[in-house]
Copies of this chain bind each other. A is one copy, B any other.
């Protein structure tokens, strides 16, 4: 974390969405304004208004763009084994965060989820986001079963568990001051779960 999907934005639209992402991470959702997005944008602010009508439209477009490109952004091409892919994703959420960037990104996501409680468009996005990540996990697990490196577990159920647990961690990390206590415990327990339930070598690794 955070996304490197916006490292080299191509064209005006992507540059606007990249500016939205940077401003969102810096200010959080509630303090975000179109003007602050404009301050992150190298070209004329009027281009933003030409493409988008409101802060929410910008934020939703930014989130949708990130979701569309999440695999290329978050998933390292060199990581191809099912177990490594699982572990890499878990590491994105539960990994060390020395500069606080993950925490900052998760804080923005929690603000957006709070918005999703009462806004149909935001809730439609978070539903779609959950579906994409759950399908990704189920896919990786099925691949592992096919290759004989994972047990014959139920991919959809395991995926539901992983997505829910990782979202719980995304909720806790920016809202809990005791991360040094519960996060190592969670990481260890998640490994125990995966070894008992998913990895074919079980407790051996």
Among A126, A168, A192, the one with the most B-chain Cβ atoms within 10 Å of its Cβ is: A168
Cα(A186)–Cα(B161), bound, Å? 5
A118 pairs with B171, CB closer than 8 A: no
- Residue of B131, B158, B166, B176 near A189 (CB, 8 A) is B158
Interface size on A, residues (CB 8 A): 50
Known: A113-B110, A118-B28, A176-B127. A134 touches B182 (CB 8 A): yes
Residues 21 to 42 of chain A near chain B (Cβ within 8 Å): 28, 30
Measured CB to CB, the nearest residue on chain B to A168 is: B168
**Complex Cα gap A197–B197 (Å):** 10
**A130 touches B (CB below 8 Å):** yes
The answer to whether A167 and B172 have CB atoms under 8 Å apart is: yes
Question: Would A156 and B185 count as touching, CB distance under 8 A?
Answer: yes
| Cβ contact within 8 Å between B193 and A161 | yes
Q: A169-185: contact bitstring with B at CB < 8 Å (1 yes, 0 no)?
A: 11110111110001001
